[in-house]
Chains A and B, each alone.
Chain A
Amino acid sequence: MPVFRPKIIGYYCQYCAYLSDDNFGKVKIPSNVKKCKLLCSGKLDILNILETFESGIDGIFVVGCKEDECRNINGNSRASRRVNYIKKILEQIGISSERIAVYNIEPESLFSNVFLEASAEMGKKIRGLGPIYK
């Protein structure tokens, strides 16, 4: 049986990426993780995320700024609350809510490292869950 390589999308806020020293500079993001830039994590759209899962993406994560440090005041907390709403819908239809997660950058952490850690952690979690549609 071929090894399952989950299809993952990592959304990220352009501000935490640009404010960081190296953006994606030196780190190598696994090829099964597609990077997707948002103007702000608050741009995360519920319908868009659900349709993304519908299309067969196995896992999604969002990297946003530290709490209380959103350039647009509360875009990151909006993103978290939207993710909670999505989790609720996923559970209702029998999909694990673990398939979506939010990661926040700490002031002392490099954006690229957080994105990389999120990719690894989500990759592991989704491999455990298996493909979204069997």
Chain B
Amino acid sequence: MIIASQKSVREIADNLTKHKRISVAGCGTCVAVCFAGGERESEILASALRMFFKLKSRKVEIRQQTVKRQCEWEFIEELKENIDWADIVVSTACGIGVQAVQKKYLPKRVLPGLNTSFMGMPTSPGVWKERCLGCGDCVLDETGGICPIARCAKNLLNGPCGGSQNGKCEISKDIDCAWQEIYDRLKVLGLLDSMNEIALPKNWSTSRDGGPRRIVREDVNT
């Protein structure tokens, strides 16, 4: 899922200088699961903003609404009434949701409430780690299901590098060396021989290097 963290309430509030009606829009999918922008978190933001304006003796009304997700047109349709009512919108979706809501409800302004960070998963309660960079040409079949692109600091396809020490990456003793993990995993899978195979240079045109990407499916297309 997409992992995000909350912007400081202050940073958000500083952009709400003259507004009298604010709509806080939560998203009930990825950012709800990572406790950044779901129903509860957007209610927390709405409450914090109300207090902020109360302290400044500013009369500001705030409405809060969470939809199933903000990255598809049909779901953000439901936000219409509250967005039409508001002078400005704060979306606690990921960057995709913010862009969708902004486009749909032009010329109303939509501000981001989160910093969208990466594609990953919770590895223990309260800890989320990056797992995939969306390179567009998956090599997990060669690496025992551990991504060297997202999890190795140097995106090495032929690792480990000389900096791998006691299972940790040279950039930090708190970060596991992805290639140590790949080695250990291949061993479990009985595929250690594949460590001897040299991976050829990757085709990065499927990644960001080829510019903004799109996928077209003719069978689904209208």
Q: Which A residues lie at the B interface, using CB under 8 A?
A: 46-47, 50-51, 53-54, 89, 92-95, 133-134
Contact = CB atoms under 8 A, between A and B. Distances in A.
B48 interface: yes
Contacts of B50: 54
Interface-centre pick from B9, B43, B49 (highest chain A CB count, 10 A): B9
Interface in B28-58: 40, 43-44, 47-52, 54-55, 57
A56 to B, nearest CB: 9
Interface of B: 8-10, 13, 40, 43-44, 47-52, 54-55, 57
Given A54-B50, A54-B54, A133-B55, A93 B9 contact: yes
A47 B54 contact: no
Given A92-B9, A93-B10, A47 B52 contact: no
Interface-centre pick from B44, B49, B51, B55 (highest chain A CB count, 10 A): B51
B47 A92 contact: no
Contacts of A54: 47, 50-51, 54
A134 B55 CA distance: 7
B52 A51 contact: no
Contact of A95 (B40, B43, B51, B57): B51
Interface-centre pick from B13, B52, B54, B57 (highest chain A CB count, 10 A): B54
A49 B113 CA distance: 21
A31 B43 CA distance: 31
Contacts of A92: 8-10, 48
Given A92-B8, A92-B9, A92-B10, A50 B52 contact: no
B143 to A, nearest CB: 36
A93 B44 contact: no
